[in-house]
Amino acid sequence: MITIFSSLVIIPVAIGIVLNVKILSTHYFHVVFTVPDLLNKLIFNNKKQLYNLLFKCASETLSELAMDKKYLGAQIGITAILHTWGQNLSFHPHIHCIVPSGGLLPSEKTFKHSRKKFFIPIKVLSRKFRGKFMHNLCLLLERKDIILPTGTDFKALKNELYSKEWVVYCKPPFKTPENVIEYLGRYTHKIAITNSRIITVKDNRVYFKWRDYKDKNKEKVMNLSVFEFIRRFLMHVLPKGFFKIRHFGLLSNRNKKTKLKLYELQ
């Protein structure tokens, strides 16, 4: 018998910061949920509420589909990380999810591994995520918990959003638990741009490297006025006290201390 998770791993990720992670003894998938840029202005004007909604819809989409016997029929764990930027510092909110490749069968008290390829089809993930987000967005508007930007025709916006395929994709899985540790330590506390990407500041302009994913991932150089650079950087400041890393399902704080102790891998 093998325990369901390895011992607690303490990872130094920055000066004065440590990340406590329980790594399950299995492979991991990396799933990214994003929203159409049509929503950017609305999200920017209601950061706290809609960032929370991104976490809620991404985690529920994965958890509910994984519980479906058609795909896995088990309860999974999720570590979710919010990023709000693109390579050129544009506003691009999206959620990275690190997901163990399997889940617990409560009735049998065993861990069920998924197939080598991700166990939920991307189109199914995308459609469910879109439906959940739009449903909850409408509820927030009905309760007046969020404010529409001036001049927004929400009915037209809603129709356009439903007509689009929302982007959800699954990156190649991590090869080992050690790769998960490396990723978490390097990526979770990443900011919109690091010093290593800034080439120079000259004539009141900032020159920096960026990758253009729409052009075969080519590395390019962008230059912005100092004021535009600062404006873009400040777009990614999170609401005060906001947690950008969250754990769900088997990896939630409550389950780490209680539910996981009931199960072992066979």
Q: Which two tokens stand for residue 123?
A: 């189109």
**Using one digit for the tens of pLDDT, what is the confidence trace for 43-99?**
999 999 999 999 999 999 999 999 999 999 999 989 999 999 999 999 999 999 988
What whole-number distance in Å separates Cα of residue 38 and Cα of residue 35? 8
Q: How far apart are alpha carbons 26 and 265 in whole angstroms?
A: 10
* Top-confidence range, 21-30, 71-80, 169-178: 71-80
Choose between 183 and 42: higher pLDDT. 42
Name the CATH topology of 2-192+245-265.
Replication Protein E1; Chain: A, (3.40.1310)
pLDDT tens-digit profile of 111-152? 888 877 777 889 999 999 999 999 999 999 999 999 999 999
Q: Tell me the pairing of strands 17-21 and 9-14.
A: antiparallel
If you average pLDDT over every residue of the chain, what do you get? 84
Q: Give the residue extent of every domain in the chain.
A: 2-192+245-265, 194-235
Q: H or E element: which one contains 67?
A: helix 47-67
